[in-house]
Amino acid sequence: MKQRYSTVAAIAGLSLALIALPSKAQTYAKAPAQSLQVVSATLAASPEVYDGQCPVTIKFSGNITVKGKGQVKYTFTRSDGATAPIYTLDFDGAETKPVDTTWTLSPPTFGEWLAIKILSPNELQSDRAAFKGTCRKEPPAQNNSQNATGGIRSLNAPVAEPSPAAKGQFIACPVKETRTEVTTPLPDPWWNTPQIGKLERVSVQTIAGNQTLVCEYWAYGRTVSIMREIPEGVTDCSAESSGFLCR
């Protein structure tokens, strides 16, 4: 009987020992996946200093570095306040991916900056990629003769003050410079940089049989015109300086 009780006690002790062992699921529980986070963003302008012909296109190259897996949303923020589209990048883990963009400018002198702005999964902004420079256009050829069609009476009039000896009514162009941009809706990811162009030349043209005063401004590598008909009661106008002398 003593031996029987000993055997039962031994079996009971073994059962207790087995119950105390951890389960396989507890031993090999899967570690939670690391959440996505952008840890850095860098951007550089090329060239940083420019001196040459207008317009100039500045190129920007940069990198976005993350830890974790998922999608990053970012955009570009600029010193002139222009709005850029939102871009996405997919990451498979801790890695770095390149980004790039461009900015076309035309003013005679400029000093601007552009930066990467991370929108999600966390907010972060790169250092500003600053650039500056000067640019110039080839001076327009002087030509005040009538063209073959007789439509243009005076071309490429220099922008200057009217002659003190001139008599008549002087009509100046309405503005010294214009802001020109594409107003047609653009699909993502396309966007447009507004251009600011100064008055380049004035001319008197015959449009639809009527004498028309035309002020031409530089924009996007060409001229953009602002125009009006000659005033009522005026019989003749000529291009002079930054406007028109009408009699």
What are 136-168's pLDDT values in tens digits? 876 544 444 444 334 333 334 444 444 444 467
In contact, 246 and 166? CB cutoff 8 Å:
no
Most confident of 77-86, 166-175, 214-223: 77-86
The distance from CA 166 to its chain's CA centroid, rounded to whole angstroms, is 46
Domain ranges of the chain: 37-136, 169-246
What are 76-124's pLDDT values in tens digits? 999 988 878 999 999 999 999 999 999 988 888 899 999 999 999 999 9
- Tell me the whole-structure pTM to 2 decimals: 0.46
Strand partners, 170: 245
Question: Residue 167: what pLDDT?
Answer: 62
Q: Give the number of other CB atoms < 10 A from CB of residue 136.
A: 10
Most confident of 4-8, 107-111, 154-158, 192-196: 107-111
Q: Give the number of other CB atoms < 10 A from CB of residue 238.
A: 17
Structure-token match 């317009």, residue found: 55
Min mean pLDDT across 41-50, 129-138, 150-159 is at 150-159
CATH 1.10.10.10, domain 37-136, yes or no = no
Q: Look up residue 108 and give its amino acid.
A: P
Task: Give me the percent of the chain exceeding a pLDDT of 70.
Answer: 73
